[in-house]
Each structure stands twice: as C-alpha cells, then as structure tokens.
Amino acid sequence: MGSREETIERLIPIMEDIFDEDSITYSDAMTAADIEEWDSLSNIRFVVAVEKEFGLRFTNSEIASLDNVGQMVDLILTKLD
Amino acid sequence: MANPTELSWLLPAPSDFRACVKALRKDGDSDARQAVRLANHALDLSQLGQLGKAVKQRRDDLAKAGLRPARLAIAATHTLDLLVEALPASGLRHGVLIETLQADYGQTAQAVLDPASPLNAFDPQFTLLALDPQALGLAQPILEESAAQQAVQSAIDYVVSLRDAVHANSNASAILTTLPVPPVSLFGNFDAMQPGSVRWLVQRFNAQLAVHGAGPGDVLLDLAALAENVGLSIWHDAARWHDAKLPFALDCVPLVADYVCRLLAAARGLSRKCLVLDLDNTLWGGVIGDDGVDGIRLGQGSADGEAFLSIQSHARDLRQRGIILAVCSKNEEDAARIPFQQHDEMVLKEDDIAVFVANWTDKASNLRYIAKALNIGTDALVFLDDNPAERERVRQELPEVAVPEVGKEPADYVGLLAAAGYFEALSFGEEDRQRAAMYAANAQRAGAMTKIGNMEEYLRSLEMVCSMRPFDALGRTRTAQLINKSNQFNLTTRRYTEAQVSAMEGDPAKFTLQVRLVDRFGDNGMISVIIFDRGADEWHCDTWLMSCRVLGRRVEEAALAQVAKAAVDAGAKRLIGDYLPTAKNALVKDHFEKLGFAFVRTLDDGGTRWALDLAGYTPPELPMDIHVEFEPVETAV
C-alpha cells in the first residue's frame, strides 16, 4: 500500500512542522546535519509523529540503525507491507 | 471526550496556525495579543514549540499587554526538555509569561543545594522539583514491611530536604510532584495489599507528600492524579523512558504543560473567580419560554434530565467552595426565573446566583456588566453556553473570557469544565469556608453520624425529607413514566398514558399522590406514585408503586399515613388494596399485610384483596421529615 513517492509526500509536511522549516527539499541522503533544528529531542518528536501518521511503531534499535531519511522511508515501506 | 490526552475543552488549532505564528514573529508591530488568541487552542507539541519561539521574541510586548512574568526553575531527575519547550505558549492561556531555566541533567540536587548554582542565580519565583520513583528508591519492590516504610520515609525526607534548600537558597516557592504509579505489577491484584510492592510504595509516598511535602507558599503538582485521569497505560511509554528518560508519553506533554501553568497562574492570583451560566439547554433541556416549566427536561428519569442535574450540582459544588455563580441568558427575565422558583428538581436556587441577567442584549455586553457588578475583571469569568454561535461571539469580543468548547452532549459538560481547570486553587481558606457555611454544617452533621448501630439510627442518619402532593402538571411526565416503567414494586401494574394522568389531576373521584424523597446524598426525585378511588365508606387502591432504590426507607409507611389521614378526613371507614401478581412483582406480595391490612379474599385472577380498618389505625413514628404540600381536596360531588 502506497508507493515510495507517496510515503515521501506524507513525510515532508511532518518534517516541516517538527523542524519548523518552511520548504524542505527532500533527498534520501538527508540527515540531521542538514537541518538546523534536528537534534536528539526533535528527533524523538519526529519519530513519534511519523509513527502516528503511518500508524506503526519503530523499535529503539530500528531508530538507532537509521543513517538517513531515505532509510527511514524504506523502513516505513517494509512495515506497511 | 474521546482522547484523554487532548485538551478537549479548547477549539482545534486553525489550519493556518504556522503561518499565523510566523506573521507574529516577522512583524514586530503586529498585535502581540494575537499570541494569546492562538494559545487558546488545543495545540500539539510542535505548535506549542513554534508559538513558544514567538513568545520569546515578543516578550516585552506581551508583558506590556498585561501578562504576568513568572520565572520557573526546573530541577528534574529525568528529561523535561519537551515540557520546557511547551511551557511559554501554554502559559499564555493562563495569563503568565513564563521564563524557564533547567538544571543540567544529573545535577538536580547540586543545583538546588548550591547557593551559587546557575539555577539559584536565575532568581526563580518557582522551582519545580520533579523526581521519579527511580531517583527516590521506590522503583523496585522492597518486600519487607519495615524496610518498605523506611524507604518511603527516606524518599519523603529527601524531597523535604530539597524543598528546604529551595527556600534557603532562593526566594522561590517549591513545586512538588506526586509520582504516577508505574504500570508494571509484580503480583497482580495483590500488589495493592503487599507492603513494599511498587504500587504500595508509590501510593504511600504520594499520600505522605500531600500531608508533609509543601511548606508555606509551596504547591503540589498532582501528576499522579493527572496520570490516572489520562490512563496509566497511555501515560507511560517505556521505549521513550529507555531511549531518553522521558517520564511520560509525548502525547501527554501539552496536558502536563497546561497543568503546570494553571498552578503558576493560581499562585499569581490569576485563577478564574466566576462561572457564568446560560440557562436554556445548559442548566436544563429545552427552552423555558417555549416549553414552560412543565416542559423543560431536568431531573431524574431521563438521561438528558440527569445530565442537566449534574451540571447544576457541579455548579453548586463550585459555589460552596467559593466560586461566584452568575446567569447570562437570552430570555424574558420573569420566564427565566420560573424554574428557579417552581421546578422541584432545580439544584440551583435564586440565592445561589450572584448576578442574574436575562434579556435580549448581546452576551458580551452582559458579561461586561456582570464583571462590573461583581467588581472583578472580565478575565476572571468562565462562560458556559451550549450555543456555539454565542460562544464564538464572546470569544471574539472578549478573548480574555474563558469559553469552554462544550459540544452537544450535556453529559460531557461537567467533565470538560473540570478538566479545563479554570478554578485551580492552592488552598481552601477561611474566606472560602464562610461562603461555604452550609456545606460545613452538613459536613459536621455527617461527622456525627459516623457510628451507626441499628436500622433506625441508619435511617435517621440519612436525613430524609419526604414530600407529598397530588398529581400536577409539573410532575406529570415523571408520574406517567413511573406508571409505565415500574414493574417490581407495583401492586397492580396498571399503565396510564400521560393524558390519562393529566385527567386524574382534576378528577374529584380520585385521590392521587406523587412522593419525592431527598436525603443527605441528594435528591432522589419522584419515587412513588399512588392512586386511590374515593368512595363514601371505602377508598380502593388503584395504583401503588415505588422506585426500588428507596426500598427499606419506610417511605410506603409515610405514604399510607397520608392516604389514611385524607380518607379519615373525608369520612371513609376502610382502605381496600389489591395485589395483582405478575412475573415481576412478587416483591410486594405481602405489601399490604406488612402495612397492617387484613386479608379479605383471593381474587379470581390469583391476586389477593386486603382491607385496613381506619378506626384501628395509628400512624407510626417515622425516621424522616414529612412535608405535605397540600390539604386534601374535599370531594366536590
């Protein structure tokens, strides 16, 4: 259910809201270093907001294993399968 | 009220919320009070954070606009950064302009104990001491009673020593927190009984903290009660605790922030003082001007009627703790007052209402008038109205008035009003108590009744007032309802329509009684209905029914005394009563016998007939006050 593109489309407004950035240009390689307000606490808010949007739950070890946003998109897609 | 973590008494955030906040931050000349309007919505964590940045940026403007500064230091043994982010925006809702300083993680005790710490240098007015069971040694079971008690005592001593340090090293009031019970049980149900189970430890700690925790000027943040309200399984989020030592689920942060701000506002004297009530469809169902006093829905017997009753009871409870009540209704004043004067089930009386405004002027003007008459600010008002258009109008005209978003279900009103925490108090003082004189007197009487030996004493302790009067228009609906739904305590199970009941009201051949019972726990409403056919020598019982919830209160004896007196006054010699058995009314098989009637004969359909010779009848001494609201009507034929 839902293509990779659709998942990214849903992810962008969440990131804009959580990190208080007006227009985020998405790329798979994007990391916390690319966004000013992305720190450890806003990361938790981000994870929880994504869980809520997609109706799923990440484990802490899954979160710890992510290196960039693209990997999060892939993880979401695996969980939605 | 669907989601317990939501601030459901507030409107949802506008869809262009982020743009509004942005405008507030970009345009330094824009009206800073727009920030307060935005804060008065149910904001999520991100929105609170965004608005919080605007608060920081526009601090001076907001102070000029009348918000009260409050410097809050936070010393926590867990991560409260998300709460800290949410506080400045939440504070706007309560009239406080919050500035925070957080002790470094792991430095809780040092920050409080060291007079030269950054925390004390901040010169806080409030210091939040947020500890957790882990930090207090109460997170693991201690299954030996004296050791368990010792652990609770040590935890209390520790908190008290931190509190004393707050006082010694700063001018701040300490904010102490109770501990939400951890969600994992060890034994299961038995945890409640086993000394030293975590549940036991935490509950004992909380109870002792409430008694010994707060010194002069200190306040208690009852997180345990909040967590119970939300639900412990929603409150606790183990993954977030292990990941970042977040003490509660992210969804709870806006609610906790609001609770903290209420306390700060209360400490600044900013709690609301007056509840202004609409009338039609807020205190009763229906429109008094259209439906009349007999037609409005209020009281026992319908879900709606009971819901409106509970709203009135809550308002009365608030009044008894010192909250002022006012009425603001679009109505003719005379009509608006009629239920207060004539409706039996009204909990609120005219005396309870400090200012009564019923006219056709717009409500914002009337609210200004009410505030002026009471010599309080409009920012001390809470306005409860079922009509969304009126609510919106008042919000626009008077944004400082608190207007709970109550929806369409009156059963939700009390919960929403209470959840909003408008009337947060830090103490209950002499002044409040005087306003609550009646309440105090009642409590004293209740205290004297704690020892109850026998049935008679028990019944006396209920302070029952039984009132009786013939059928009338006011009681008609409830009378018909009882006639049509009572099955168990019903001697004849005869059903009559409301129209038939109405016809009996003026019928000289009928003797009718509606019986109501009030006790010290409240008004039971109409609980018994009796109809006798009047004859020259004999009065024949057509209907005798009673609500089972007042079984064993001797109400039937009181009713009989009334029937007997009326019959004797009318010159009758005997009362005749039939028991007609059904599948459900075996309960009253011996009803007449118990009342002293003699058996006459078995009826054709298996029932029994009974007779009471009035010459030999003496009314009993009863454990209740009896109010008869009429003289028996003489037979006019």
**In terms of pLDDT, which residue wins out, B459 or B270?**
B270
Of B479, B80, B119, nearest to B247 (Cα)? B80
> Are B72 and B59 in the same domain?
no
For the whole model, what pTM was predicted?
0.76
CATH number of the structural domain spanning residue B188: 3.40.50.1110
| Span B449-460, average pLDDT | 62
Q: Inter-chain contact A45–B82, Cβ cutoff 8 Å?
A: yes
Q: Inter-chain contact B243–A44, Cβ cutoff 8 Å?
A: yes
| Span A49-74, average pLDDT | 94
Of A18, A40, A44, the CB nearest to B46: A18
Identify the pLDDT of residue B269. 86
Residue pointed to by tokens 């209470």? B418
Give dist(CA B464, CA B549) in Å, integer.
Answer: 14
pLDDT over threshold 80, residue B447: no
Q: What angle (nearest 5°) sits at the alpha carbon of residue B242, between those of residues B239 and B247?
A: 85
All residues of chain B having their beta carbon less than 8 Å from the beta carbon of residue A59 are: 239
Residue B445 lies inside a defined structural domain of this protein: no
In this structure, what token pair is assigned to residue A39?
A: 């720190």
pLDDT over threshold 80, residue A72: yes
Amino acid at B284: W
In this structure, what token pair is assigned to residue B336?
A: 């608006």
Q: How many domains does one find in chain A?
A: 1
Give me the DSSP letters along B107-165: -HHHHHH-TTSHHHHT--SEEEEE--TTTTT-SS---SHHHHHHHHHHHHHHHHHHHHH
> Are B324 and B201 in the same domain?
no
**In terms of pLDDT, which residue wins out, B481 or B564?**
B564
pLDDT over threshold 80, residue B276: yes
> Are B486 and B580 in the same domain?
yes
pLDDT over threshold 80, residue B203: yes
Give dist(CA B596, CA B593) in Å, integer.
Answer: 5
Q: Where are the alpha helices (H) located in B222-302, listed in sequence order? A: 223-230, 232-235, 238-244, 253-267, 288-295
Residue B111 lies inside a defined structural domain of this protein: yes
Q: CA-nearest residue of chain A to B81?
A: A41
What are the pLDDT digits (tens) for B95-145? 999 999 999 887 889 999 999 999 999 999 999 999 999 999 999 999 999
pLDDT over threshold 70, residue B475: yes
What are the pLDDT digits (tens) for B484-519? 888 889 999 999 998 999 999 989 999 999 999 998
Identify the pLDDT of residue B486. 84
> Are B90 and B28 in the same domain?
no
| CB neighbour list of residue B32: distance below 8 Å, 6 or more residues apart | B24, B58, B61, B62, B64, B65
Residue B477 lies inside a defined structural domain of this protein: yes
Asked if B354 and B245 count as a contact pair (C-beta separation under 8 A), the reply is no
Q: What angle (nearest 5°) sits at the alpha carbon of residue A13, between those of residues A11 and A17?
A: 120
pLDDT over threshold 90, residue B610: yes
CATH number of the structural domain spanning residue A37: 1.10.1200.10
**Which residues are paired to B147 by β-bridges?**
none
CB contact burial B189-213 (16+ within 10 A = b; e otherwise): eebeebbbbbbbbbbbbbebbeeeb
Residue B296 lies inside a defined structural domain of this protein: yes
> Which residues of A lie closer than 8 Å to B, measured between beta carbons?
17-18, 20, 40-41, 44-45, 48-49, 59-60, 63
Residue B55 is part of which domain span? 9-66
What are the pLDDT digits (tens) for B278-324? 999 999 999 998 888 989 999 988 899 999 999 999 999 999 888 99
Of B252, B23, B68, nearest to B35 (Cα)? B23
In this structure, what token pair is assigned to residue B498?
A: 């409301």
Residue B636 lies inside a defined structural domain of this protein: no
Q: Which of B403, B426, B449 represents a domain boundary (last residue)? A: B426
pLDDT band (50, 70, 90) for residue B432:
low
Identify the pLDDT of residue B634. 44
Tell me the pLDDT of chain B averaged across its residues.
Answer: 90
| Span B259-279, average pLDDT | 94
Residue B633 lies inside a defined structural domain of this protein: no
Q: Inter-chain contact A45–B242, Cβ cutoff 8 Å?
A: no
CATH number of the structural domain spanning residue B531: 3.40.630.30
In this structure, what token pair is assigned to residue B215?
A: 């010194």
pLDDT over threshold 80, residue B433: no
Q: What angle (nearest 5°) sits at the alpha carbon of residue A64, between those of residues A61 and A65?
A: 90
Amino acid at B433: R
In this structure, what token pair is assigned to residue B78?
A: 């867990």
Give dist(CA B535, CA B426) in Å, integer.
Answer: 65
pLDDT band (50, 70, 90) for residue B631:
low
Question: What region does B463 belong to: left with phi over 0, alpha with psi -120 to 50, or beta?
Answer: left
Identify the pLDDT of residue B440. 35
> Are B60 and B205 in the same domain?
no
pLDDT over threshold 70, residue B452: no
> Are B53 and B79 in the same domain?
no
* H/E segment holding residue A80: helix A69-80
Residue B117 lies inside a defined structural domain of this protein: yes
Identify the pLDDT of residue A75. 95
| CB neighbour list of residue B114: distance below 8 Å, 6 or more residues apart | B120, B169
pLDDT over threshold 70, residue B448: no
CATH number of the structural domain spanning residue B382: 3.40.50.1000
> Which residues of B lie closer than 8 Å to A, measured between beta carbons?
18, 45-46, 49-50, 53, 79, 81-82, 239-240, 242-244, 246, 250-251
Give dist(CA B374, CA A70) in Å, integer.
Answer: 62
* H/E segment holding residue A6: helix A4-18
Number of other residues whose CB lies within 10 A of the CB of residue B586: 11
Q: What string of H, E and C letters represents the secondary structure of B45-90?
A: HHHHHHHHHHHHHCHHHHHHCCCEEEEEEEEECCCCHHHHHHHHHH
Give me the DSSP letters along B283-302: TBBS-HHHHHHHHSB-STTS
Residue B384 lies inside a defined structural domain of this protein: yes
What are the pLDDT digits (tens) for B152-196? 999 999 999 999 999 999 999 999 999 999 998 999 999 999 999
| Span A1-21, average pLDDT | 90
Gap from B18 CA to chain A (nearest CA, Å): 8
Q: What string of H, E and C letters represents the secondary structure of B377-427?
A: CHHHEEEECCCHHHHHHHHHHCCCCECCCCCCCHHHHHHHHHHHCCCCCCC
Give dist(CA B592, CA B612) in Å, integer.
Answer: 9
> Are B474 and B617 in the same domain?
yes
In this structure, what token pair is assigned to residue B100?
A: 């925070």
Q: How many CB pairs under 8 A join A and B?
A: 32
> Are B161 and B35 in the same domain?
no
What 3-state class would DSSP assign to B511? strand
Q: What is the DSSP letter of B15?
A: T
| Span B246-261, average pLDDT | 97
> Are B75 and B207 in the same domain?
yes
Q: How many domains does one find in chain B?
A: 4
Identify the pLDDT of residue B584. 79
Asked if B574 and B537 count as a contact pair (C-beta separation under 8 A), the reply is yes
Give dist(CA A79, CA B113) in Å, integer.
Answer: 49
Of B222, B224, B241, B193, nearest to B79 (Cα)? B241
Residue A54 is part of which domain span? 4-80
